[in-house]
Amino acid sequence: YALFGWPLGHTMSPELHAQLFEASGQDAAYIGVAVPPDDLAEAFDLAKAKLRGINCTIPHKKAVVELLDGVDTAARDLHSVNTVAFRDGKAIGYNTDILGFSESLARDGVTLRGKKVLLLGYGGAASVMAYHCAREGACLTITGRNLEKAAALQQQIAEAVPHARVAVYSRRHIPRDIQIVLNSTPVGMYPNTGQAAVFPGTFPGLKWAVDIIYNPLRTNFLCQAKKAGINYMSGLAMLVLQAVAAA
């Protein structure tokens, strides 16, 4: 098995999957492969011929969908795949991130129903987080540098979850009564650890700061949340739980 991503200097997945394989008694190996976006199709064909399956991370979760023979319901709704199984010459895509995200929130007692949630970003991980928030009845605001991409995610979620309450705002116009902030961007990831996705103090009623990043375990964003007495959660639990589902 392999992990496709670009870049891959921060990944813990090979070590994590090695432990999962050992715990489950599987005789298997898992490697990280740095695949530039332009090389994805070629690398995918090679993997399909040689491997049992792959995981995909930034920036391949959306692009890989076009290369698949089929996808499960969540992956179809999300237009995002993080797990691909090669069976009988077919490549089938799944999204175990949704399970990892939902279970990590439940583990720490984070409830979304009726909460005002800010989502930073609009990529593959963001679509997972937005999808779960919408299904759980949160009042979701999406923002990012490219508002057209944010609006595209808004439309995608509205089509997948008809009752969804989703809005798009520029950074300057984000409502100040946000209760939960979800960072799906790589801002603050190693080696650029001095950066912060957003300043928690911007939102007086903030209860939870959630970061998808797990390296470092506590980003600048989460460090600021801790100092302000705000509950915080890194992406480590999500990483482990989605890996368990994928394995």
- For the packed helices 124-135 and 97-107, what is the interaxial angle rounded to 10 degrees? 60
Residue type present at position 9: G
Question: Token digits for 198?
Answer: 């957003």
Cis status of the peptide bond prior to 191, with omega within 30 of 0: yes
Q: Kindly state the DSSP code that residue 88 receives in the 8-state scheme.
A: T
DSSP state of 59: T
- Secondary structure element (H or E) that encloses residue 102, with its range: helix 97-107
Q: Which residues are catalytic?
A: 61
Q: Which residues pair with 180 in a beta bridge?
A: 117, 208
